[in-house]
């Protein structure tokens, strides 16, 4: 009997005050085209809203786009909330304007990947495909 393959579920969102969503919408479309279920939260989400939605939607990963400069605070807060809510198995990755010098500390904190401006779309899709689904 064939086993049904559940597509990966990925939450894509924008946290903070950043109002630019063109890039994140392109990523959402590329992930959908690659066969994943994508939940797009829209603009101006708080870390709390993102984590609540991620848990409710039973996602495998959260991808956040941050262009506002608040990446250190926002990404760390999402990781903190995931741990508090016993959802630390949800992979967090990010993208946006993130200075090279901030990348090592964010990865050490638990952000699995960071994609900076100009990252090829296929790299993001391949990274997400490599995540082990948790359900």
- Strand 113-115 and strand 91-96: the pairing is parallel
Q: From first to last of the 135 residues of the chain, give the pLDDT tens digit.
A: 666 678 999 999 999 877 788 888 999 999 999 999 999 998 989 999 999 999 999 999 999 999 888 999 999 999 999 999 999 999 999 999 999 999 999 999 999 999 998 899 999 999 999 998 876
Please list the helix, strand and coil fractions of the chain in percent, rounded to the nearest 5, in that order: 40, 20, 40
Cβ pair 99, 66 in contact under 8 A:
no
CATH assignment of 9-129? 3.40.50.280
Q: What is the pLDDT of residue 134?
A: 72
pLDDT score, position 67: 86
């Amino acid at each position: 009997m064939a086993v049904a393959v559940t597509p990966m579920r990925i939450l894509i969102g924008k946290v903070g005050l950043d109002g630019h969503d063109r890039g994140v919408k392109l990523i959402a479309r590329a992930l959908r085209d690659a066969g994943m279920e994508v939940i797009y939260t829209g603009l101006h989400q708080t870390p709390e809203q993102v984590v609540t939605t991620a848990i409710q939607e039973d996602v495998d990963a959260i991808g956040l786009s941050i262009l506002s400069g608040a990446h250190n605070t926002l990404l760390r807060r999402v990781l903190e909330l995931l741990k508090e809510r016993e959802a630390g198995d949800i992979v967090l990755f990010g993208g946006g304007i993130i200075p090279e010098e901030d990348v090592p500390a964010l990865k050490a904190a638990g952000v699995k990947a960071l994609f900076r401006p100009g990252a090829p779309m296929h790299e993001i899709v391949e990274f997400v495909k490599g995540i082990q689904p948790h359900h």
